[in-house]
Each structure stands twice: as C-alpha cells, then as structure tokens.
Amino acid sequence: MREDVEFDANETRLRGWFYAPPERSGPYATVILAHGFSALKEMGLDRYAERFSQAGLACLVYDNRNLGASDGEPRGEIDPVAQMRDYRHAVTYASTRADVDPERIGIWGTSYTGGLVLIASATDRRVRCVVSQVPYIHGIETSRRTNTPEAIQERLNLIDAERESLLAGNPPQRIPICAYDPTQADSTPGNRTYAFFHAFDNNSDFHWPNEFTVRSLELRLEYDALSFAQLVSPTPLLMIVAGDDEITPTDLAVSAYDRALEPKNLHVIPGDHYRPYLEAFDESSRIACDWFVTHLGVT
C-alpha cells in the first residue's frame, strides 16, 4: 500500500512515500511526517506510517530538503525555516490528491522537526491536528543547556570562519554529526546518537552520510518554536516528551507545552531522547495514533 511520490516545495523536489490505509476507500484523513536532524525517512518513519495506516490514516512521509531522496543544495545543509515551510508545501500537495480529505490533515514531527510542527501548525490553519515528539524547541537555549561555555565559543568561532570562507567563494565545509567516544558509557547522549544512526549502516536501500554543513549551525541559532507554542490553539496539540532528555532538554519542551493553549495533552515517556523511537516505540506510536484518529475523525 506504499507509493513513491514527489512534490514541489518552492522549486525543490521533495520525495517520499504515500501510504493508503488497507481495506478503506478515500478520501482519507492524512498524517504528514518528516524526520529530525539529518535523519532519513528509512530511519524509522516507515514504522510510524505503517502503524498509523493500520488504524485508517493515510500517511505522507518525505525526506527533508538537501537530504536523502529529496533534492536541494548544498547537500547536508539543515535549514529549520525552510524545513518548516516544507510542511506547508506537503500540506498543499496532500490537499491536491483525490484520495486525501483536505479538511482532515495532521502533521507529526520529532526532535528537530518536533518543534517545527509547532510553528507550521500555528501559521497554517489547514493543519487540523499536530503531534510534537521529543521536540527541539529553541536553538540558543538548547545550546546553553547542552554545551559548556568553551564549547559554545568554539562553535561560534567555527561559524565565523565559515562565513568568511563562503564569502571567499569556497565550498561549504562539512563536519560529523556524531562520533563514538569509548571513554563514555553507551548511555550518554553522544553515544546513544551514534548508536541510533549507525544501526542503519548495513541497510543497502539508502545511505546516510555522517556529516552536515557548518552553516547549519548558524541557521540553528534562528530556531525558535517557543514563541509559537501559544499560537497553535485551536489546533489540537499532543506533545510526547522524554522525561530525561539531554539532547532536546525536557524542561524546554515542558515550557512550550505550558505556553500552549487548549486543546492539548502532554505524554511523558521515562528515559532519554531515543527511547520513544526505540524501546518505547509501541507506546509513542500508539499515543500519537490515537490522537490523530480522535481529532481527524477516523472511524
């Protein structure tokens, strides 16, 4: 029941999959899904889409621009504003399909896109329901919580040097997304990140390059979903938060939830950032699925 699809996003072709729910006829209530920082659709989004489609929801899953099967240059550049706008392009594409009910479209995001769906749903009333999972909420505040002052300054120096290099006409510099540190426990955020991404190394269907552009660090400073949290209402909002998240800090996610207005619901999964994807996948997918089914009117 999975169809390869592509659509235009401001002159950039985004590619992914459309899942039609089995043994049902359209037009369908539909959920749009995109992955977090640098991750590709094959890294678990198929599992969420399969779970949702079994409950009667169609799903549109796509790779973010500059990543995976989607077009966009420079490769590996992660622009939160452009990614947020691409949710709106995805809503437009879904709305034009004869098998989609344009009055029953929801969006789902996780980690880096978990905050972007707050902005997208606040600025696009075609979105009728939203699920934000372990959301990245604010670029500068997240950096302050997850880095030492020395590390922050080193990163700012790297950004400044890249600005000058690009001005001089040099190609974008790329740096690794993650690395394994044998001196740290496997449960540390860095090693959990490494394990999550490299668990897909032997999958021959796609290639995930462990790199992103330095300019992505600069663009991340512009990330601010916190200011939009209270504007999501009246769109129903579900936030799924990890109780001990050191990557997208739990307190920032809860702050966004506290700002949001009704209707809303908060579901906390004990553990770290990756637990909703991995050990608690059944829980996170069930809670999200129930929210979409309820608020998009699937019977």
* Domain assignment present for 153: no
| Percent of the residues in the chain that have a pLDDT greater than 90, as a whole number | 98
- What is the per-residue pLDDT for 206? 94
pLDDT at 97: 98
Is residue 299 pLDDT above 90, yes or no? no
Enclosing domain of residue 268:
2-142+220-296
What's the confidence (pLDDT) of residue 227?
97
Is residue 40 in some structural domain? Answer: yes
> How far is the C-alpha of 33 from the C-alpha of 35, rounded, in Å?
7
Q: What pLDDT, on a 0 to 100 scale, did the predictor assign at position 298?
A: 95
What pLDDT does residue 198 have? 97
Task: Report the domain count for the chain.
Answer: 1
CATH number of the domain that residue 124 is part of: 3.40.50.1820
Q: Does residue 49 sit within a domain?
A: yes
Identify whether the C-beta of residue 256 lies closer than 8 Å to the C-beta of residue 229.
Answer: yes
| pLDDT at residue 262, as a whole number | 98
**Hey, what long-range contacts does 154-161 have (CB within 8 A, 24 or more apart)?**
155/217, 158/214, 158/217, 159/214, 159/215, 159/217, 159/218
Residue 193 lies in a domain: no
What per-residue confidence (pLDDT) applies to 1? 84
Determine, yes or no, domain membership for 166: no
Looking at the predicted structure, is the pLDDT value of residue 226 above 90?
yes
Which residue is it, tokens 């707050």? 118
For 22-49, the pLDDT digits (tens) are 989 989 999 999 999 999 999 999 999 9
Average pLDDT for the chain: 97
pLDDT confidence of 8, banded at 50, 70, 90? Answer: very high
